[in-house]
Amino acid sequence: MSRPLPAKSLGIALIGTGFMGKCHAMAWRNLATVFGGAHPRLEILCDLPAEQAERYAAQFGFARASSDWQASCADPAVDVVSITAPNGLHRPMAEAALRAGKHVWLEKPMALTLADAQAMADLAGAHPGQVTMLGYNYLRSPAFQMARKLVSEGVIGTPRAFRGVYDEDYSADPLLPWSWRMTSEAGGLGALGDLGCHLVSQMVALMGPVEELTAMTQIAIPERSSPDGPKPVENEDSAMALIRFASGAQGSFATSRVARGRKCRLQWEIHGSEGTLVFDQESMNELWLHRVGEAGFTRHLTGPDQPDFAAFCPAPGHNFGFNEQKVIEARDLSAAIAGGANPGPDFAAGLEIEKVIHAMARSNGRPIRIGDMA
């Protein structure tokens, strides 16, 4: 879909050079190629140690390298700060960027704690001229955008039930060493903060807000080795929840980082009064639809008839990919900076996602109303 982009080039500071840092760098470099407009100015690549920042600044095409994130956030040549640092740095970095007058593109999870997320949303609300966006890139795939359109247009009737899972196996090996991701102080939530929040972002986009849930979590591997000896795992390896939406529909939710054989099983289905929709990220170029009167499901392949696909490729059936989702996300952020609507999730919407996953972490089998989360 066409969205006006800024007339002038945006100055970018990117903090972090890991998996998501590289995704952000590619998104900024490809934004104008795919969607037009002025090419962003890649001003500062920030990371530690300084040698790493220098190396990746050259590789990613940034003009300068820095090991000082505070200075990077405050730099007068910077308009947007992309934050892909570890979870424990999300709040201080995002708040520093907002206070310096910058727009913020922050990877999920939003923060370590619900109190942190609330403070960040409050600060963003006090800076209405600055755009915030959280990195829920799976919302941008053409298949998901089409699914959302089909639901909103009533193609499957009234949504009655949602079933969703997001499973991976990156922590399934008990010999995997302990890391900061397994601590509350640096990692925050476990599978819920890393994986489950993505599923929640899609779930609420399709079904509307969650009203109440009951959940249980599990630490499957309670201790892991480290150079300093065995250390405890402090956050959940998996979680399951039963959900009631504000609409009255029901849902089930499960997420795990220890699901053997699963690589990116972000899978959901919606049962409606007139049909069913099914999607699985491991087959992200397929959307399955059943409607009343049909014997089974019809497979719809991604193609130029779905939102944003044609900007990358004019031919149907040519697969869309993970990194392309980030380019669309960068486009949406840039268009919002130019004065267009912000499809988000911004920090206010991100806070609502955080309420859901933190309610799951707190539940321990007890019903929790989302409106009571604080």
The pLDDT tens digits of the residues spanning 163-209 come to 999 999 999 999 999 999 999 999 999 999 999 999 999 999 999 99
Roughly how many angstroms between the first and final C-alpha of the chain, as a whole number? 37
Same domain? 358 vs 214: yes
CATH number at residue 153: 3.30.360.10
CATH number at residue 48: 3.40.50.720
pLDDT at 323 over 70: yes
Mean pLDDT of 276-304: 97
**Which structure tokens are listed for 323?**
């990194």
pLDDT-derived band at 270, boundaries 50, 70, 90 = very high
Same domain? 166 vs 194: yes
Assess contact for 4 and 340: CB atoms under 8 A. yes
pLDDT at 1 over 70: no
Same domain? 163 vs 311: yes
Q: Which residues, in sequence order, are CB contacts of 17 under 8 Å at separation 6+?
A: 45, 47, 52, 53, 56, 60
The pLDDT tens digits of the residues spanning 72-97 come to 999 999 999 999 999 999 999 999 99
pLDDT at 3 over 80: no
pLDDT-derived band at 374, boundaries 50, 70, 90 = confident
Half-sphere exposure of 47 (CA within 13 A, CB side): 22
pLDDT at 269 over 80: yes
As a whole number, the mean pLDDT across the chain is: 97
Same domain? 212 vs 278: yes
pLDDT over 70, % of the chain: 99
In a domain, 279, yes or no: yes
Quickly count: other Cβ atoms within 10 Å of residue 186's Cβ.
Answer: 15
In a domain, 178, yes or no: yes
Same domain? 60 vs 77: yes
pLDDT over 90, % of the chain: 97
Indicate the number of domains in the chain.
Answer: 2
Same domain? 367 vs 259: yes
Structural domain for 100, as ranges: 11-137
**Which structure tokens are listed for 364?**
């321990």
pLDDT at 2 over 70: no
Q: Which residue has the tokens 């099914």?
A: 278
Assess contact for 279 and 139: CB atoms under 8 A. no
Assess contact for 303 and 316: CB atoms under 8 A. yes
Rounded to whole angstroms, the Cα distance separating 342 from 89 reads 24
Mean pLDDT of 116-124: 98
